[in-house]
Amino acid sequence: MTVLLSVLLLVNAVFNVVVWPRFWKRITADPRARDAEGRKTAFYTVHATLIGLALLLALASAVAGVWGLLD
């Protein structure tokens, strides 16, 4: 069971690392990301925070997955 859960954590980590950076490119290109004067908007800040947290969770999942496989 531990191996299955560890593999699931690693799959989750890979998924997040593949998906979120691509989404980031779309967010930065979105016209809602900056106002008329070029300043970052709440749209940009919220999405940057969400993507940052998703990548942090991916890192935690990867560490836990590897730890589970080595244990």
Q: What is the pLDDT of residues 28-45, one digit of tens each?
A: 999 999 999 999 999 999
Both tokens assigned to 7: 């593999």
pLDDT, residue 71, reads 82
Both tokens assigned to 59: 């890192």
With 0.75 as the threshold, say if the pTM is over it: yes
Number of domains in the chain: 1
DSSP state of 31: G
Name the one residue in this structure whose structure tokens are 């690693």: 10
CB 66 within 8 A of CB 14: no
Dihedral sign for Cα 50, 54, 59, 60, please: positive
CA–CA separation, 7 and 64 (whole Å): 10
Domain that residue 52 falls in:
2-70
Mean pLDDT of the 34-59 span: 97
